[in-house]
Amino acid sequence: MNKLGIYVHIPFCESKCKYCNFISGIFSQDIQKRYVSALIEEIKREKVETKVASIFFGGGTPSILTAEAIGKIMHAIKENFNLAKNAEISIECNPNSVTKEKLKSYISLGFNRISFGVQSLDDEVLMLIGRVHNKAQALQAIKLARSVGFKNINADLLLGIKENKNISNDIMELKTAGVTHISAYMLILEQDTPLFNEAKQNKIKLLSDDESVAQYEKYLKALRQNGFYRYEISNFALKDYKCKHNLNYWECGEYLGFGVSAHSYINGVRYSNTENISEYLKNSKYKNYEKLTKQEKLEELIMLGLRTKRGVSLKKLEGFGYKVLENKNALKMISLGLIKMNNTHLYITSKNFGIANQIILRLVE
């Protein structure tokens, strides 16, 4: 292992968004306290010597916890793991759940990257999807984070909901407020979520597939014009602000996940925690182990690597016996201009990121 990522899952929310099917929800203060204790015990049981390159507190809404609780979890990590000098340490927050004092405490605990679930700068969209903040609160939270010392600030955006005639202005406003990284995702209607049911019953009308694609193209243009470089299918960064933690996943690096539903990948073995919070509180020691086959590792290498602008390492592919110039599907797609090769990597051309899934499926056949 040459670098390690740590993910901490905080499954608590003030309210459940209508589109969300993540392992998260509304829980009592007592459950939250018990969960933090179980989380710390789990962290103390896992000890590796490798330097930690990144830590990511995700959810749910990590910022729903008190700063003291976040501090206890961070203390346990620092006590049991060796952090790299330039480790990236991120925390996800909802705009309405942060205060100046809380943000200052994050800085003092070592957090140097913050991610806000903005989703949209259209108040009508925010209400439609069940968010509990508005545009003004989102921009204020970003500016507040900037004012206390955060230089690396991400905004999540959810696209494909309704027409937006202010795309260019939205991106400009986010950048002006202090955003250095944007994760822009197309809405996926997950079965049995409130939004799925409302759409099925024709209570709401969302953008069609063609309209969603057209909207995404407009976002791509606005992001480029504002200096946000696309380095992964859904992720855009100003110069020097790529997310190290996510890059580790896409490069098939190793990681430890703590908390309910969290996954880990060490020495070719993947293991995960229960998705049931009650079960996790009773026994956070239980893990579900899965040893990946050589073919599964190859498929993951291709699937994750080709999500990035850089692509997948030819050297790593050859390590699995996969020779691009001897693969008929790869040769066919190269001839069609769907994928390209340089001296070190195989990659999908930017204009074909929209059909990345189909390309990847052909490459792993």
Beta carbons of 340 and 349 less than 8 angstroms apart: yes
- Domain at 180, CATH number: 3.20.20.70
Distance CA 338, CA 356 (A): 9
The torsion angle over the Cα atoms of residues 316, 318, 324 and 325, rounded to 10 degrees, is 140
- CATH number at 310 reads 1.10.10
- Are the CB atoms for 92 and 45 separated by under 8 Å? no
**Tens-digit pLDDT profile for residues 291-346:** 999 999 999 999 999 999 999 999 999 999 999 999 999 999 999 999 999 999 99
Domain boundary among 195, 223, 249: 249
Cα 255 to the center of its chain, rounded Å: 14
Q: Where are the alpha helices (DSSP H) in the chain?
A: 29-45, 67-80, 100-109, 123-128, 135-148, 167-177, 194-200, 209-225, 244-250, 277-282, 294-305, 314-319, 328-335, 356-363
Q: How many domains in the chain?
A: 2
pLDDT at 145 over 50: yes
The 10s digit of each residue's pLDDT in 107-122 is 999 999 999 999 999 9
Q: How long, in residues, is the chain?
A: 365
Instruction: Measure Cα distances from 205 to 128, 129, 163, 240, 361 in Å.
Output: 11, 12, 11, 39, 31
Report if residue 270 sits inside a domain. Answer: no
- Looking at residue 197, its pLDDT comes to 84
One-letter amino acid of 125:
V
**Predicted confidence (pLDDT) per residue in 156-204, tens digit:** 999 999 999 999 999 999 999 999 999 999 887 788 787 878 878 888 8
Identify the domain boundary among 187, 220, 249: 249
Asked whether residue 207 is assigned to any structural domain, the reply reads: yes
CA distance 240 to 231: 11
Q: Are 242 and 310 members of one domain?
A: no
pLDDT at 1 over 50: no
- Are 245 and 103 within one domain? yes
Q: Are residues 232 and 323 in the same domain?
A: no
Does residue 269 belong to any structural domain of this protein? no
Asked if residue 214 lies in contact with residue 169, where contact means CB atoms within 8 angstroms, the answer is no
CA distances (Å), origin 150, targets 111, 113, 139, 147, 244: 8, 7, 14, 7, 16
Same domain for 209 and 299, yes or no, is no
Q: Closest Cα partner for 219 from 160, 153, 138?
A: 160
Q: Assess if residue 279 is contained within a domain.
A: no
Q: Are residues 41 and 137 in the same domain?
A: yes
Residue span of the structural domain in which 128 resides: 4-249
| 301 and 212 within one domain | no
DSSP state of 350: G
Inside any domain, residue 260 = no
Q: Is residue 332 part of a domain?
A: yes
pLDDT at 2: 66
**Does one domain contain both 243 and 303?**
no
What would the pLDDT profile of 44-77 be if each residue is shown by its tens digit?
998 788 899 999 999 989 999 999 999 999 999 9
The pTM of this model reads 0.93
